[in-house]
């Protein structure tokens, strides 16, 4: 499978993603620059974490106007697979490809730590292999990770089974205390109605290498490859 990882000015997780896909998952990876207008025939586009354009205005607000994003949006609208992690999730929400918005964390602080996630559906490319009763330990690192959507939008997400992940405690209980940033309904990731675009704040690529002592994020990449190939 051929993955394209986009780098924006300020991206700092692009090489983490390239390493995971190329070295751990042994997939072909193309490194795409924000000024590129050719996706080079990739099967899957990844928007990595970081601080695109310094997070001026709002996180992801400027990156949505990068030349490559016109092609990414076109690719997604034609059914192509797109994954946004952290800042990539923020960018996808800014473009409107994904519903909702990412606001400043409730405590107004940058949060960098391991949290626990629970897959909310098995009906997606990224969660198909997940145990819906298990809590997965995945790191977060963000200042604007509080997922927000209005009541009508939240109900639509639930009705369409579009919630991918929710923050939980180590025993899998979805509680207010397990919510690190104040996200609505503990939401950590969502998909679009066509189920080909995925966004999440936690970093599975930082939990995919045995050298890091945690490979629980690798499950998501395994799931992608098993469902597509």
- Which of the residues are catalytic? 86, 203, 205
Q: Which of 48, 177, 198 is nearest to 130 (CA)?
A: 198
Q: Round the CA-based radius of gyration of the chain to a whole number and report it.
A: 16
**Residues 204 and 217 sit within 8 Å (Cβ to Cβ):** yes
**Pairwise CA distance, residues 123 & 93, whole Å:** 21
Alpha helices in the chain (DSSP H): 14-19, 67-77, 87-95, 151-159, 218-228
Q: Which of 138, 110, 122 is nearest to 218 (CA)?
A: 138
Strand 197-200's sheet: what is its strand order?
28-33, 2-7, 44-47, 81-85, 197-200, 187-191, 163-168, 111-119, 136-142
**Residues 108 and 75 sit within 8 Å (Cβ to Cβ):** no
**Pairwise CA distance, residues 52 & 64, whole Å:** 10
Q: Which residues contact 112 (CB under 8 A, 6 or more apart)?
A: 139, 140, 141
């Amino acid at each position: 499978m051929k993955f394209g990882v986009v780098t924006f000015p300020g991206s700092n997780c692009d090489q983490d993603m390239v390493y995971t896909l190329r070295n751990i998952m042994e997939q072909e990876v193309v490194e795409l620059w924000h000024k590129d207008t050719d996706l080079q025939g990739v099967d899957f586009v990844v928007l990595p974490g970081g601080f695109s354009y310094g997070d001026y205005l709002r996180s992801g607000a400027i990156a949505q106007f990068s030349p490559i994003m016109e092609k990414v949006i076109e690719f997604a609208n034609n059914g192509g697979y797109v994954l946004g992690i952290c800042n990539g999730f923020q960018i996808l929400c800014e473009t409107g490809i994904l519903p909702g918005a990412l606001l400043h964390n409730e405590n107004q602080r940058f949060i960098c730590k391991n949290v626990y996630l629970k897959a909310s559906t098995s009906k997606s490319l990224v969660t198909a292999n997940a145990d819906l009763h298990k809590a997965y330990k995945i790191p977060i690192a963000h200042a604007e990770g509080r997922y927000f959507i209005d009541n009508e939008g939240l109900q639509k997400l639930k009705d369409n089974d579009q919630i991918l992940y929710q923050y939980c405690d180590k025993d899998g209980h979805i509680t207010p205390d397990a919510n690190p940033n104040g996200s609505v309904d503990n939401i950590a990731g969502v998909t679009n109605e066509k189920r080909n675009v995925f966004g999440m704040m936690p970093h599975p690529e930082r939990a995919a290498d045995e050298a890091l002592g945690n490979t629980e994020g690798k499950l998501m990449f395994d799931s992608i490859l098993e469902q597509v190939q």
